[in-house]
Amino acid sequence: MRCILPPDLLYRVLETATDLQTRLSAIATLALDARFRLTRAESAARAGGRTARPVTFARVGGYPQRIVYDQKHDQRQTPGTIARAEGQPEATDVPINQAYDGLGRTYTYYWEVFQRDSIDGQGMPLLGLVHYASNYGNAFWDNAGHMFFGDGDGILLKQTTAGIDVIGHELTHGVTQHEANLTYSGQSGALNESISDVFGIQVKQMALGQTAETSDWLIGADVVGSALQPALRSMKAPGTANPHDRQPANTDHYVLGGDVHVNSGIPNRAFYVMATTLGGNPWSAAGPIWYAALTDPALNPDASFTEFARLTLKHAERTFGTSSHEVQAVQAGWADAKVAL
């Protein structure tokens, strides 16, 4: 299971929060998350990577296949009642429409930038399950093709369908699963989380017409509740997103044995520096370099930061030339994060 609100952050809230309601919210979310985290981890270990891609025929691509379900606060992980399907008019329920639009914007990003037909590259339907559980303060991708949205409790998270970057982040876990299936621990796990942030923020930037200069580079700013203001993570300044944020910005402060959501700040900072060095639309050059590295057959499931960084440099050199501004930007990003090339 890949949640937008990680367990390490929830535990830090428990350690530092002084008011009872905030602590109870963290406990409730942790308890619900624990019910299915193990089974999802086992599912990810059994399947994934390039060899797991389905083979489909007669699919032209260029349009999503969305179905949004209303879970009506049920905790079962099977789809509930169909609330809006592809091509249908807006529903009266705002979160249903937000999920529908966010799934579409993520599809549009991957299709228009990379000609990737959905999460698996083969037109996989995008299934959103909205109003999951009661005041559930999280959102997650379950490795089986479903994205679950909690309504939030207002303390940790608000309505999770409101975050375009959150939706892009979670669906990108599916892209990573189908491409490299990065092991969800250590540096490869931190890369897994960072890659979701990298493409999640680009989905938002493209949807809102934001450049590297005008983007706030904050993850989850539209969904955090009162205890986690102003955001879940900052790609620009890891460790400063909220009072509980402990992300390092470079390998000098790498947390040995740390949660993957913590150390993901290091490659996040590298991408931010590269994208802002290049300027303009991050999806024009910076994003394609990262995507080429993610989809490179040489990327191993247990890749380190250095191994991934070297792949980004390789693709920047191949695409733009060894003396190009793009290559210099890649080098500057990883140097800032103190990752050796």
- Pairing of the two strands 66-70 and 81-85: antiparallel
* Phi-psi group of 296: left, alpha or beta (phi > 0 → left; psi -120 to 50 → alpha; rest → beta): beta
Residues marked active site are found at: 170, 261
For residue 275, give the nearest of 245, 235, 311 by alpha carbon. Answer: 235
Q: What is the rounded distance in angstroms from the CA atom of residue 244 to the CA atom of residue 10? A: 9
As a residue count, the chain comes to 341
CB atoms within 10 A of CB 51: 8
- Please report which residue ranges of the chain form alpha helices under DSSP H: 7-16, 20-46, 94-114, 164-179, 186-208, 260-263, 265-278, 286-294, 305-320, 325-336
C-alpha triplet 263, 194, 217: angle, nearest 5°: 105
Phi, then psi, of 190 in degrees rounded to 5: -65, -35
Bond prior to 230 in cis (omega within 30° of 0): yes
Rg of the chain taking only CA atoms, in angstroms: 19
Quick one: how far is CA 315 from the chain centroid? Answer: 22
